């Protein structure tokens, strides 16, 4: 059987995921577990159920999901559907999703073959304009590295401009091999301090920094922009960004994109039965963003805020 990859979303007409207008493919699976993640459904590389309570019609007598569930994971409490996430979080058959006509229950993740994705990309390419193409995001696209590499090779054969949004947390040789088929890269750098990096993401940053350096020292001729989400009381201090700027200058990197914090992932955490630690945090202020931008500009590094980029 042909190899397939698990993709949890495909967005056409994306304008913030690289140059021009693009089609963004969101791959399931991630090596990091960032506490502020906007796509927590992407952490594992398997299909799973999500429950949007606001769409549920149990108050109108609907109970099909309860009737079809063979694991006794769904029940009614105080006239509302409740899910036992210790059971539902690991469910494989997901029959409840098929039984829900109101889309309160959703199956996250769909299997695609290489041909499936290329058909979608070839359908969209008429809308990309000269600079557009495909962006592979996630999760972490390299979590499914073998499938990703097959797709990348087909894209190059079809003259499709390729971009990637990655944590660069993978074996260096594999990373550099795949990057040969990438034209543009966003590489996440959450924090310069290795202990702080692990505190909120679950992994040290040693391999990430190593791969960024290795990419710059290789013969790769694409464009790379570092990306950092601004997280209050974590990485939003002058010391961290001065260290980031010094690191960039030391290896010849001169572009970074800082991303203001947002709570758009809150509902997804709820739909997965998870508690979102950042639900009380506010969006990053313009003043803070401009303060951070000045740190980089003072060190002659181009710093783009949010979607205000040069591409």
In whole angstroms, how large is the CA radius of gyration of the chain? 21
Reported as a single tens digit per residue, the pLDDT across 59-95 is 999 999 999 999 999 999 999 999 999 999 999 889 9
DSSP lists the bridge partners of residue 187 as 166, 226
Q: Round the average pLDDT of the chain to a whole number and report it.
A: 96
160: in domain: yes
**How many domains does the chain divide into?**
2
Same domain, 103 and 12: no
Band (1; pLDDT cuts 50, 70, 90): very low
Residues in Cβ contact with 213 at an 8 Å cutoff, skipping those fewer than 6 apart: 251
% residues pLDDT > 70 (the chain): 99
Exposure string for 19-50, b = 16+ CB within 10 A, e = fewer: bbbbbbbbbbbbbbebebbbbbbbbbbebbbb
Reported as a single tens digit per residue, the pLDDT across 143-157 is 999 999 999 999 999
Q: What is the mean pLDDT of residues 35-64?
A: 95
Domain C-terminal end among 108, 131, 153: 108
Same domain, 65 and 203: no
Two structure tokens written together for 299: 């060190």
* Whether pLDDT at 311 is above 90: no
Q: Count CB neighbours of 112 within 10 A.
A: 19
How far does Cα 143 stand from its chain's mean position?
11
% residues pLDDT > 90 (the chain): 95
311: in domain: no
Same domain, 98 and 192: no
* Whether pLDDT at 2 is above 70: no
Residue 79 belongs to what domain range?
Answer: 48-108
Domain C-terminal end among 108, 125, 151: 108
Asked if the peptide bond before residue 111 counts as cis, ω within 30 degrees of 0, the response is no
Q: What is the mean pLDDT of residues 261-284?
A: 94
Q: What is the mean pLDDT of residues 298-306?
A: 98
Reported as a single tens digit per residue, the pLDDT across 242-272 is 999 999 999 999 999 999 999 988 999 999 9
310: in domain: no
Residue 59 main-chain phi, psi, to 5 deg: -70, -10
């Amino acid at each position: 059987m042909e190899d397939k990859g698990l993709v949890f979303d495909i967005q056409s007409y994306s304008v913030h995921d690289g140059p021009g207008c693009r089609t963004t493919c969101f791959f399931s699976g991630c090596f990091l577990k960032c506490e502020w993640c906007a796509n927590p459904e992407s952490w594992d590389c398997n299909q799973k159920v999500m429950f949007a309570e606001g769409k549920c019609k149990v108050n109108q007598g609907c109970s099909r999901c309860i009737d079809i569930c063979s694991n006794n994971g769904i029940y009614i409490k105080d006239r509302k559907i409740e899910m036992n996430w210790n059971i539902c979080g690991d469910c494989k058959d997901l029959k409840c999703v098929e039984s829900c006509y109101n889309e309160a229950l959703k199956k996250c993740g769909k299997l695609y073959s290489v041909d499936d994705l290329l058909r979608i990309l070839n359908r969209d390419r008429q809308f990309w304009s000269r600079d557009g193409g495909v962006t592979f995001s996630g999760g972490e696209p390299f979590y499914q590295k073998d499938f990703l590499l097959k797709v990348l090779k087909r894209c190059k054969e079809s003259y499709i401009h390729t971009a990637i949004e990655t944590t660069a947390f993978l074996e260096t040789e594999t990373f550099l091999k795949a990057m040969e088929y990438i034209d543009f890269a966003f590489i996440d750098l959450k924090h310069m301090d290795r202990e702080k990096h692990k505190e909120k993401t679950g992994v040290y940053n040693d391999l990430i920094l190593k791969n960024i350096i290795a990419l710059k020292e290789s013969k790769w001729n694409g464009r790379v922009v570092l990306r950092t989400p601004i997280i209050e009381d974590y990485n939003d201090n002058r010391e961290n960004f001065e260290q980031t700027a010094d690191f960039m200058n030391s290896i010849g990197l001169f572009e970074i994109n800082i991303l203001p914090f947002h709570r758009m992932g809150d509902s997804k955490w709820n739909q997965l039965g998870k508690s979102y630690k950042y639900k009380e945090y506010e969006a990053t202020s313009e003043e803070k963003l401009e303060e951070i931008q000045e740190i980089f500009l003072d060190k002659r590094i181009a710093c783009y805020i949010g979607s205000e980029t040069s591409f």
